[in-house]
């Protein structure tokens, strides 16, 4: 009886101690994610289930998660003056558990679904935090039009602030991830804040070394696909550029006039002639490339139509900040103009005129202020000596692979997919062989578990 009484008293004391324990460093004890987010007092406009597509896929059993939210966090336009102008930045969360790893999707553009990071998120059963890039989508700020603070340093500081706000909630391992320009943001973030992430990943991401990086033309005309298709591409470009501003360009202008749209400049037409084929290889599996290129060049009309469609996409207003980022720091691909110098000689074409005219006007020529010091330091030092584990993934026939790091160190890994496109899709064997997927996930799980 005495022993029973002793045990009962010990249990009461233990429960009393547990109830008095300070949980201030763990805001998710006995709370929902929505409550935990609200308790930070850093997020506003918290909304549940913003991604209807994700909801439908969850119903079909294609996507597994507990809940999803979108919200806004207040950020300084200039993080060096945190009390000055502010803006609201969009953040979205796909939630799988407080104790799960977290993928910070470092979006380089406007907010979109988690598709690019989804395969890795599914394999890790990880939370996904998606941060829209400043000056895209709903995350515009007062600097838009002046662009003084549209820099990799400021964008990385945005990500750092989001991480600091959410780390007390998601206490597991963290990795940053992005595809294409978003992957550049992932590596930029690791460069400026090497103590935040346990791993930084960039998939299909170019790291340009100049404003007019010529590696892309060399790769496009010598490395992608087969010699047969590359020769067809070269001949098709020659046809489209023949007679300069008096040739096919006039036909393209007529198409825009019919639709009562502004006619393209000759520089815009030239770039999009190259980019029509660049984009084909960027997104088309090797087994489908021949059919794709044949559909473009079937007739003169189909070739002109393909170039005009590319120009229309190129004019997407959501891409404008992308051009600013290129003009200020990230550089721009030279898609092979030198290979056709004989056709461009004597025309009005200049590579810098590919960028919107507002970016190189006489009074505010951003191209003049191109600063590649960060990209140069990354190439020479950070990729080689990073203390943050880095993962780079590229696809052989994706022309953007020309911009892959030229040298990496022992704390970095580069994986080349022989059949992929400009998107990870590592869970789809049509796009990623099983051994490549295994190599990707083994490396990630070395640091994220």
Stronger pLDDT, 116 or 395, i.e. the higher one: 395
CB within 8 A of 284, min separation 6: which ones?
292, 421
- Predicted confidence (pLDDT) at residue 388 exceeds the cutoff of 90: yes
Helix (H, G, I), strand (E, B), or coil: what is residue 204? coil
Q: What beta strand segments (E) does 13-159 contain?
A: 43-48, 67-76, 86-95, 102-106, 127-131
Place 1 in a pLDDT band, splitting at 50, 70 and 90: very low
Is residue 207 a contact partner of residue 378, using CB atoms and an 8 Å limit?
Answer: yes
Quick: pLDDT tens for 317-361: 778 899 899 989 999 999 999 999 999 999 999 887 887 666 665
Helix (H, G, I), strand (E, B), or coil: what is residue 105? strand
- Predicted confidence (pLDDT) at residue 22 exceeds the cutoff of 90: no
Beta strand pairing status for 390-395 and 127-131?
unpaired
pLDDT averaged over every residue in the chain: 90
Average pLDDT over residues 416-440: 95
Burial class (CB in 10 A: 0-12, 13-18, 19+), 137: middle
Is residue 211 a contact partner of residue 352, using CB atoms and an 8 Å limit?
Answer: yes
- Among 98, 114, 95, 96, which Cα is nearest to 106's? 114
Looking at residue 358, its pLDDT comes to 66
Question: Rounded to whole angstroms, how far apart are CA atoms 111 and 109?
Answer: 7
Q: Sign of the C-alpha dihedral, residues 107, 110, 116, 121? A: positive
Average pLDDT over residues 277-288: 96
Distances (CA, A) of 306 to 86, 198, 301, 367, 407: 42, 43, 9, 29, 37
User: Position of tokens 């970095």?
Assistant: 412
Quick: pLDDT tens for 396-420: 999 999 999 999 999 999 999 999 9
Q: Which two tokens stand for residue 136?
A: 């895209």
Q: Which two tokens stand for residue 356?
A: 């919107």
Quick: pLDDT tens for 364-383: 556 677 899 999 999 999 99
- Predicted confidence (pLDDT) at residue 53 exceeds the cutoff of 90: no
- Predicted confidence (pLDDT) at residue 191 exceeds the cutoff of 70: yes
Strand ordering across the sheet containing 412-417: 43-48, 67-76, 86-95, 127-131, 102-106, 174-179, 199-203, 390-395, 412-417
- Predicted confidence (pLDDT) at residue 6 exceeds the cutoff of 50: no
Looking at residue 136, its pLDDT comes to 92
CB within 8 A of 174, min separation 6: which ones?
101, 102, 103, 104, 163, 167, 196, 197, 198, 448
Looking at residue 357, its pLDDT comes to 66
């Amino acid at each position: 009886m005495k022993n029973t009484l002793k045990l009962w008293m010990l249990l009461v004391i233990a429960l009393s101690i547990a109830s008095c324990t300070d949980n201030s460093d763990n805001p998710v004890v006995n709370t929902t994610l929505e409550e935990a987010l609200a308790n930070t007092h850093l997020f506003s406009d918290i909304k549940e289930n913003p991604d209807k597509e994700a909801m439908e896929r969850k119903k079909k059993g294609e996507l597994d998660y507990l809940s999803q939210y979108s919200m806004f966090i207040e950020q300084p336009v200039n993080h060096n003056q945190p009390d000055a102008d502010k803006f609201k930045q969009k953040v979205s969360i796909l939630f799988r558990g407080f104790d799960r790893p977290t993928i910070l999707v470092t979006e380089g553009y406007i907010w979109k679904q988690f598709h690019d990071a989804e395969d890795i998120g599914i394999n890790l059963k990880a939370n996904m935090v998606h941060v829209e890039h400043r000056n895209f989508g709903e995350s515009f700020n007062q600097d838009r039009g002046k662009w003084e603070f549209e820099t990799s340093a400021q964008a990385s500081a945005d990500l750092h602030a989001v991480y600091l706000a959410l780390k007390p909630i998601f206490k597991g391992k963290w990795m940053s991830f992005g595809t294409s320009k978003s992957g550049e943001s992932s590596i930029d973030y690791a460069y400026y804040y090497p103590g935040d992430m346990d791993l930084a990943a960039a998939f299909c991401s170019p790291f340009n070394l100049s404003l007019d990086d010529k590696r892309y033309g060399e790769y496009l005309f010598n490395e992608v696909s087969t010699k047969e298709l590359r020769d067809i591409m070269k001949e098709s470009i020659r046809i489209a550029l023949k007679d300069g501003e008096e040739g096919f360009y006039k036909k393209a202008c007529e198409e825009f006039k019919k639709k009562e749209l502004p006619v393209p400049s000759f520089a815009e037409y030239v770039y999009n002639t190259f980019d029509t084929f660049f984009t084909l290889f960027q997104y088309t599996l090797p087994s489908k490339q021949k059919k794709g290129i044949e559909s473009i060049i079937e007739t003169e009309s189909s070739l002109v139509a393909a170039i005009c469609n590319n120009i229309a996409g190129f004019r997407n207003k959501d891409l404008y900040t992308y051009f600013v980022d290129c003009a200020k720091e990230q550089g721009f691909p030279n898609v092979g103009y030198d290979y056709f110098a004989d056709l461009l000689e004597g025309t009005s074409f200049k590579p810098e005129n590919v960028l919107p005219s507002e970016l190189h006007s006489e009074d505010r020529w951003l191209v003049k202020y191109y600063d590649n010091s960060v990209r140069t330091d990354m190439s020479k030092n950070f990729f080689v000596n990073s203390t943050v584990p880095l993962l780079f993934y590229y696809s052989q026939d994706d022309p953007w692979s020309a911009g892959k790091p030229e040298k990496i160190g022992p704390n970095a890994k580069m994986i080349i997919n022989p059949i992929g496109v400009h998107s990870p899709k590592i869970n789809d064997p049509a796009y990623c062989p099983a051994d490549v997927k295994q190599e990707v996930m083994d490396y990630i799980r070395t640091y994220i578990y």
